[in-house]
């Protein structure tokens, strides 16, 4: 659980950085945002791993303890952990083959109340073509500001509902009121803020409309759908 909290915290911080980069003078710093997105991806993978189980060993698992609490230099983080049992939902969402409207009905806090086996991982339909089928290594990066806005994909109706509100407050504070308009369900055809033209648009990756259509970013089911790049895409 500790790993989840740490991962959650890092996800929040990373999203905050991506958000605050929007207003930065001089435009998007590609290098920094790429690095932030890598951290975000790693933290998200840890966060989405089966709760209660320690995160899997490399490549994407987190450090064992929050670094600032550990005075000694961090040693092999995973070596210190007991070998984790293979989580039932491994690589949540990664090997999902198609749209699955059913969502995990258990929020973080009421895991104990989840009846029976944990539900199948929520499969985000909005993963880009580049990510789908890549087991364990989605590499969505923040788009450069001159990329054309990709068209928002249709969102399955079931995904719009937000089951988890307890983690919302921290994220809302990060994103501020600017995102309050996104909290209500948006029409599918909502037009993105125009991105800068100029570069030949690759524009092939479908947008991750989760952030666009008002999902609260920090919820576990939402995190499955949240493409960190989508926030950046929206921003840029």
Site size toward other proteins (CB under 8 A) is 55
Contacts of 91 (CB under 8 A, 6+ apart): 45, 135, 136
The residue (of 64 and 104) whose beta carbon lies closer to other proteins is 64
Which of 143, 153, 154 lies closest to 202, judged by CA?
Answer: 143
Sole binder of other proteins in the list 77, 123, 210, 235 (CB under 8 A): 77
Using CA atoms, how far residue 24 sits from 21, 118, 129, 172, in Å, is 5, 42, 30, 20
Check: CB of residue 93 under 8 Å from CB of residue 152: no
Q: Does position 211 bind other proteins by CB under 8 A?
A: no
Q: Does position 30 bind other proteins by CB under 8 A?
A: yes
Phi, psi angle pair for 29, to nearest 5°: -90, 105
The residue (of 105 and 139) whose beta carbon lies closer to other proteins is 139
Sole binder of other proteins in the list 10, 104, 123, 174 (CB under 8 A): 10
Long-range contacts of 128-137 (CB under 8 A, 24+ apart): 128/205, 128/206, 128/208, 128/227, 129/204, 129/205, 129/206, 130/204, 130/205, 131/227, 134/94, 135/91, 135/94, 135/95, 136/45, 136/59, 136/60, 136/91, 136/94
Sole binder of other proteins in the list 13, 53, 172, 183 (CB under 8 A): 13
Check: CB of residue 205 under 8 Å from CB of residue 129: yes
Q: Does position 18 bind other proteins by CB under 8 A?
A: no
Q: Does position 97 bind other proteins by CB under 8 A?
A: no
Q: Does position 173 bind other proteins by CB under 8 A?
A: no
Dihedral over Cα of 178, 179, 183, 185: its sign: positive
The residue (of 66 and 120) whose beta carbon lies closer to other proteins is 66
Q: Does position 223 bind other proteins by CB under 8 A?
A: no
Contacts of 201 (CB under 8 A, 6+ apart): 147, 148
Q: Does position 22 bind other proteins by CB under 8 A?
A: no
Q: Does position 114 bind other proteins by CB under 8 A?
A: no
Sole binder of other proteins in the list 67, 83, 133, 158 (CB under 8 A): 67
Q: Does position 98 bind other proteins by CB under 8 A?
A: no
In the complex, least distance from residue 106 CB atom to other proteins, rounded to whole angstroms: 26
The window from 29-37, 156-164, 182-190, 209-217 that contacts other proteins (CB under 8 A) reads 29-37
Using CB under 8 A as the criterion, which residues of the chain lie in contact with other proteins when the complex forms? Answer: 6-7, 10, 13, 17, 25-27, 29-32, 34-35, 38-39, 42-43, 58-59, 61-63, 66-68, 70-79, 128, 130-131, 139-141, 143-147, 196-199, 202, 204-205, 229
């Amino acid at each position: 659980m500790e790993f989840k909290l740490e991962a959650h915290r890092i996800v929040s911080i990373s999203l905050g950085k991506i958000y605050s980069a929007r207003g930065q003078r001089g435009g998007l710093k590609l290098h920094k945002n790429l690095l932030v997105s890598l951290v975000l991806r790693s933290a998200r993978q840890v966060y989405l791993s089966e709760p209660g189980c320690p995160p899997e060993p490399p490549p994407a698992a987190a450090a064992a303890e929050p670094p600032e609490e550990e005075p000694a230099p961090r040693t092999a983080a995973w070596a210190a952990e007991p070998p984790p049992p293979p989580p039932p939902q491994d690589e949540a969402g990664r090997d999902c083959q198609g749209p699955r409207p059913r969502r995990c009905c258990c929020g973080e806090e009421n895991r104990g109340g989840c009846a029976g086996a944990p539900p199948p991982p929520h499969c985000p339909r909005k993963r880009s073509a580049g990510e789908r089928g890549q087991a364990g290594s989605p590499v969505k990066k923040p788009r450069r500001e001159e990329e054309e806005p990709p068209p928002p994909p249709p969102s399955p109706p079931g995904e719009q509902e937000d089951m988890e509100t307890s983690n919302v407050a921290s994220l809302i504070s990060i994103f501020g009121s600017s995102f309050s308009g996104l909290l209500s369900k948006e029409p599918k055809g909502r037009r993105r803020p125009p991105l800068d033209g100029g570069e030949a648009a690759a524009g092939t990756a479908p947008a991750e409309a989760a952030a666009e259509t008002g999902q609260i970013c920090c919820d576990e089911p939402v995190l499955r759908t949240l493409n960190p790049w989508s926030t950046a895409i929206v921003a840029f």
